[in-house]
Amino acid sequence: MIVADRKPIQEILEMVKDCKKVLIVGCKGCVTVCNVGGSKEVGVLAATLKIAFKKEEISIEMDEKTLERQCDPEYVDQLKDMVDDYDGIISMACGVGPQFLSAAYPEQRFFPAVNTTFFGGAVGHGIWEERCAGCGTCVIHYFDGMCPIARCSKSLLNGPCGGSADGKCEISKDLECIWDMIVRKKMEHGRIDDLLEMKPAKDWQTARDGGPRKSVREELANE
């Protein structure tokens, strides 16, 4: 899923401080799963903002709404009867949400309440980790189910760098060296030979480096 973190309250406050009436829109997709932008978090943000504004003696009216998804015009459409009632709208979806909302309602202003961080999953209660860099050409099968593009700090394709120590990455003792894990798994399973051949330079054209991407599925697009 797409993982995000909520922006600091002060930053959100600054965005909407000139609005008299604000709508906070959550999303039931990824941001609900990673507990950052679902209906529960919409409620928490509304309450927090109300208190913060009250402290600064600013009166502001706030409503809440959570859509099935903000990355789908069908659901974005559900805001059409209320969108003009507000001075500004805060989106708690990933970075896709406020853009889909802005495109659908060009007269309205939308503010992101979260920082979209990565594609990942929960590894413990309240802890998420990055797993995919969305490079457009999946290679995890070469590395026993672990992606060095996303999980090595240098995206190395040919083994651990000289900074790998005690299973940790050189950039932080809190970060596992994915290459250490790949090498150890290959050794355990007797597949170390897989790592002796040089992996050639990656073609980054399918990644963001090739420009903004688009996916067209003909059978659906032509329906």
* Site residues (vs other proteins, CB under 8 A): 153-168, 170-172, 177, 180, 183-184, 187, 192, 195-196, 198-202, 204
Q: Where are the beta strands (DSSP E) in the chain?
A: 2-6, 21-27, 61-67, 88-91, 110-112, 114-124, 127-132, 168-169, 172-176
- Residue 48 or 153: which CB sits closer to other proteins? 153
Q: State which residue, 201 or 221, has the beta carbon closest to other proteins.
A: 201
Max distance between CA atoms of the chain, in angstroms, equals 68
Structure tokens belonging to residue 84: 């003009």
CB of 114 to other proteins, least distance (A): 21
In the complex, least distance from residue 207 CB atom to other proteins, rounded to whole angstroms: 11
Give whichever of 78 and 158 is closer to other proteins, judged by the CB atom. Answer: 158
Q: Which residues contact 30 (CB under 8 A, 6 or more apart)?
A: 1, 2, 3, 4, 94
CB of 197 to other proteins, least distance (A): 8
Q: Is the CB of 196 or the CB of 221 nearer to other proteins? A: 196
Closest distance of CB 214 from other proteins, Å? 23
Q: Of the two residues 77 and 194, which places its CB atom closer to other proteins in the complex?
A: 194
Closest CB 201 distance from other proteins, rounded Å: 5
H helix intervals, the chain:
9-16, 30-33, 39-55, 73-76, 96-104, 148-151, 178-188, 218-221
Cα-based distances in Å from 8 to 18, 91, 144: 18, 14, 38
Task: Kindly compute the dihedral angle of the four CA atoms of residues 158, 159, 163, 167, in this order, to the nearest 10 degrees.
Answer: 150
